[in-house]
Structure 1
């Protein structure tokens, strides 16, 4: 029986419209045929109206092509397929699933294009953007890459392109991407993820590509400013000369004094240090640029924040990201037909890669390490930063295997990946785990064939996030990966929202299901 006959028999009064030449939109049973019947027959949703009201994430033809390719068998596989390809309405009175909750949070965390009034500390943003949440009311640099992973999984391409346009605009105005979009962040940046963000851009036109390339080259110049002086003095701004004369980078902040947003805290830390206060302020600011504010990575005494010495540390994560940036610029220059630029940045990447391998790899310990300029030796701190060379593809297969063994022995926790094995009270130490480091670890290990360990980290992290969500109804900034509970420590109360947790969790749900 045809759809038109069914509608006539149901007495819906639509035949007149059909006979007037207007086509009727087909219902889900017609659009999705065998998929619809399989879902309803399996009763994966107790109320049959639930799937009938679901919204496809792609065009129906694309959904059905995926259905024919995958042919999921069993209720669990069928539900996972549906939740990848449809937005399923929440059941009345039921707590939304993690997927549903994250999808509902994007509009809450989105802010419109913005021009600040005179005297405001906020910076102008030409396009809508996503903030982390809680006390973080502006966009933050490295957070946004991990947020974008979830936006990509949820089909929010327009927000991704808007945020990329905002970042390109910031580079055009200031020469770099600041830590966050406040005037008091204009002395520092954050881990340089812009090249990786640009790879998420769904646009592939020449104008957009040229704008991204210009932004990446300007950002690289920002990080390398001071290279000539460093060759003479040993260190200048963000550039450090290693013992063999090669150049690597460190975290820094161009502004003096205590941080505006943590003024009282910084003054108190400097007061107890017994060191020149300007030196302490510079190290605190540099630690904030690292994103790991704060961690035993930067402390001479892990129990005392006032022993912070970030500017003396050459970090493996920063240099891995800059190696990836140089590779990306070389690739983009080659695509644009600029052979000289491509050769230049390929050579810079090769030199940096050699320096990382020589100075930051410890074969006896099977890990990549930070380097202490004063001691002229690697630091003793084991941390999740050891996974960055795997994440960007700089490690050898043998190095990746060694790092995987170290991760299993020292960093794998019941609820995901530890940041470090040390309990110090700082928030970037045990027992806390952070969404970005779960992603870095997962992607890096999977890249080198360590798929079981990668999957274990992802699934344990999902279990931790789900347990805290069941308890609190919130997505949190950080988690206790020893007990599957909300995290703690640091300078401020635990924040909820939360951009990068939403993004990484949503990306893991896309791969591993509920």
Structure 2
């Protein structure tokens, strides 16, 4: 029996957290807010001037915008109010609030919250009938340590499995969630509902675990969500329902189809994939004219221009002192950064800026356009498979056109790689991010010269010099979680996939192996040393230490790390792998190492680090 201990609010949405209060790593960090008794200030704070909230429907004025939400944040009650379930229909909950004196005294508001909301779990642990110990594919893992790691991760699927409680289905209008019919895997920690792009790596892991029924259920869940919303939102919480995440549904289906050959499921889901692509084409495109030619690209560009309800006070303060127009731009770009999944990073900020200078809506990101081009290619193949030649031709043309635009506009010949494009400055953003090399995945047989230039670029900027994986960026000034010194499973996995596209005979493939080995070893050490798999890791060391920064303490579980690591083991550490005897990389400090000074735009990850410290954590650069 699960008992809710507190209500968690993050960029990922409001979730129930279930955690032991005796384990110090289970304590939840809440952003400190300064609560004032001055009613004039309270009235001013409640008057947020924005036009497009983050959700629609009868629950919007309770969970997504308005005075209830603002008052809860102002009084520091945002973790319990509004609660996980309404006690009455939404109209009555609103009417009860409107009858209160204004400004609402704290004690009266607290009583209102106790009366009108209920703190109950909307999720429960789900049974996974296809979970069996010792998956057949694991017998090909030739390294005893990695077999232990794989078995450890496989066990985690049980504790991370969820489905919605019966009451959610009976009283759906009382809950701020969109329920789905089949069991799913949550990320873990404070993230206790389904999330879009997390599920891409979770599904890879489930497939390697021989859990095809659970994997199929996750795909059918997203089909249900598309039917409900017209696209796949960030997560199942309505507070995140008007922004999406990286569109990887088609590529999830590709993984499942390649593993099972289930054409019937592809046929069933194809119209819904078309619908999702229409959402992105109708709502997230932008044109760039380069050398007289018009290029259509895709952006992360959330529709909302209001503070995020899950981080209301942070967003409000980020826009403090700005004009209404500028505040709306900041709030929209913050939501768009969450849509990217990279929340937050210097990637979305103006140079030397922080969240108050976020500009996601003015960035054309490399990764999103690679994902869309891959989606178009897949849909072209599948429509052709079912004899739908017209649609196949359309998608094939879109894939070719977008791939060409990525190379013509985002590729820098002098640097040998691709960069995000800034619509304000009309130029590249030449900082290092792992996504800079993702277009390699679009090459059926990556051109050797392109692979050569990418390898040279990675060497020049020092991206391969860390023992724990691939850094998220080289900016260590923002203290955001998608910047230095953190490394993340999604980025490492996509980085490895990109280099692998160069083929096993190219040096890039060896670098892919080494990058995978560093990260997998780091994760293995976190299991041995801490009995945990983290959401993010510290790239500067290989001892399993967690990453840091961002809006909350490090989380563990962890869905996408589990899935990515299992897939990397499958690729590089089984008897069926391309390089079956590839060993774990031994990380040794180099006493003769000198600090590299090769970073773009003065982004120096070693700025606050002594030479002795750097030498002790960096891999041999020879």
**Are the counterparts in 1 of residues 403 and 442 from structure 2 also a CA contact under 8 Å?**
no
Distance 2:306 2:228 in 1: 24
1:348 to partner: Cα distance: 1.0
Match of 1:428 among 455, 467, 482: 482
Query: Are residues 392 and 145 of structure 1, via their aligned partners in 2, closer, same or farther at CA, if it must alter by over 3 Å?
Result: farther
- SS of residue paired to 2:235: coil
1:57 and 2:117 are equivalent in the alignment: no
Alignment of 1:512 with 2:558, yes or no, is no
Relative to structure 1, is the Cα distance of residues 329 and 466 closer, same or farther in structure 2, using a 3 angstrom cutoff?
Answer: same
1:56, distance to aligned residue in structure 2 (A): 5.3
Q: Summarize deviations over 1:177-206 as a string: whole Å, max 9, x none.
A: 111111111111111111110012255445
Question: What is the alpha-carbon distance in structure 1 between the residues aligned to residue 143 and residue 160 of structure 2?
Answer: 31
Does residue 211 of the first structure (1) align with residue 264 of the second (2)?
A: no
Q: Distance in 1 between matches of 2:480 and 2:309?
A: 20
| 1:245 partner SS | strand
Moved more, 409-418 or 327-336: 409-418
Structure 1 unpaired stretches of 5+: 1-53, 68-75, 84-96, 226-236
Question: Structure 2, unaligned stretches of length 5 or more?
Answer: 1-131, 575-583, 585-622
1:240 corresponds in structure 2 to 286
What's the CA shift for 1:406?
A: 2.0
Query: In terms of mean alpha carbon deviation, does 348-357 or 464-473 score higher?
Result: 464-473
1:118-129 alignment, distance < 5 Å: 118-129=173-184
Deviation at 1:381, TM superposition (A): 2.0
Match for residue 492 of structure 1? Answer: 552
Q: Which residue of 2 aligns with 1:223?
A: 280
**What residue number does 2:463 align with?**
411
How well do the aligned residues superpose, as a CA RMSD in angstroms? 2.3
Equivalents in 2 of 1:507, 1:206: separation in Å? 23
* Cα distance in structure 2, aligned partners of 1:438 and 1:277: 34
Pick one of 205, 211, 231 that aligns with 1:156.
211
SS in 2 for 1:417: coil
**Quick one: structure 1 residues 372 and 104, their matched pair in 2 at CA, closer, same or farther if it must change by over 3 Å?**
same
Q: In 1, are the aligned partners of 2:534 and 2:554 still within 8 Å (CA)?
A: yes
Deviates more, 1:255-264 or 1:473-482: 255-264
Q: Secondary structure at the match of 1:378?
A: strand
Report the Cα distance in structure 2 between the residues aligned to 1:399 and 1:375, rounded to whole angstroms.
26
For residue 309 of structure 2, what is the aligned residue in structure 1? 260
User: Contact 1:121–1:184 at 8 Å: present in 2 too?
Assistant: yes
CA distance change for structure 1 residues 438 and 208 in 2, over 3 Å: closer, same or farther? Answer: same
Shift of 1:397: 3.3
Give the Cα–Cα distance (whole angstroms) in 2 for the partners of residues 417 and 301 of structure 1. 22
How many angstroms apart in 2 are the aligned matches of 1:112 and 1:196? 24
8 Å CA contact 1:168, 1:211 repeated in 2: no
Q: Report the equivalent of 1:185.
A: 240
Instruction: Please say which of residues 385-394 and 363-372 is displaced more in the overlay.
Output: 385-394
Q: Distance between the aligned counterparts of 2:202 and 2:279, measured in 1?
A: 24
Aligned to 1:102: 153
The count of residues paired between Structure 1 and Structure 2 equals 423
Return the TM-score normalized by structure 2.
0.65
How far residue 143 of structure 1 moved from its aligned partner, in angstroms, is 0.8
Please state if 1:476 is matched with 2:528. no
Greater mean alpha carbon deviation, residues 254-263 or residues 283-292: 254-263
SS at match of 1:427: coil
Q: What per-residue deviation string (whole Å, max 9, x for no partner) do you get for residues 474-507 of structure 1?
A: 1110001112321001111111110011111122
Contact 1:459/1:512 (CA < 8 Å) preserved in 2? Answer: no
Determine which structure has the larger helix proportion and give its number: 1
Structure-2 separation of matches of 1:113 and 1:160: 17
Task: Return closer, same or farther for 1:405/1:261 CA change in 2, 3 Å cut-off.
Answer: same
Task: Kindly indicate whether residue 333 of structure 2 is the aligned counterpart of residue 283 of structure 1.
Answer: yes
Say whether the 8 Å CA contact 2:186–2:559 is kept in structure 1: yes
Instruction: Give the number of the structure whose alpha-carbon radius of gyration is greater.
Output: 1
Q: In the alignment, what sits opposite 1:442?
A: 496
CA contact (8 A) 1:126 1:166 kept: yes
- The equivalent residue for 1:30 is none
Q: 2:509 aligns to what?
A: 451
Q: CA deviation at 1:407?
A: 2.3
After TM superposition, list the pairs within 5 Å mapping 1:17-96 onto structure 2: 57-58=135-136, 77=142, 79=144, 83=147
For residues 205 and 482 of structure 1, the distance between their equivalents in structure 2, rounded to whole angstroms, comes to 43
Q: Aligned residue for 1:388? A: 438
- 1:140-166 deviation line (CA, Å, top 9, x unaligned): 111111111211111111111010010
Check whether the contact 1:296–1:381 (CA below 8 A) recurs between aligned residues: no
Normalised to the residue count of structure 1, the TM-score between the two structures is 0.78
Match of 1:503 in 2: 563
Distance 2:519 2:155 in 1: 21
8 Å CA contact 1:273–1:307 kept in 2: the answer is no
Look up the SS of the partner of 2:297 in the other structure.
Answer: strand
The one of 164, 185, 193 equivalent to 1:130 is 185
Deviation of the 1:303 alpha carbon = 4.5
Contact preservation (8 Å) 2:142, 2:573: no
* Equivalent residue number for residue 9 of structure 1: none
The alpha carbon displacement at 1:79 in A equals 4.8
Equivalent position of 2:128 in the other structure: none
Q: Deviations over 1:85-124 (max 9, x none)?
A: xxxxxxxxxxxx3223211110111112556243211111
Distance 1:430 1:392 in 2: 27
SS at match of 1:492: coil
SS in 2 for 1:112: strand
Q: Which moved more, 1:265-274 or 1:382-391?
A: 265-274
Partner of 1:171: 226
Question: Over residues 282-324 of structure 1, what are the superposed CA-to-partner deviations in whole Å (9 max), with x where a residue is unaligned?
Answer: 0000110001111111110344221100000000100000000
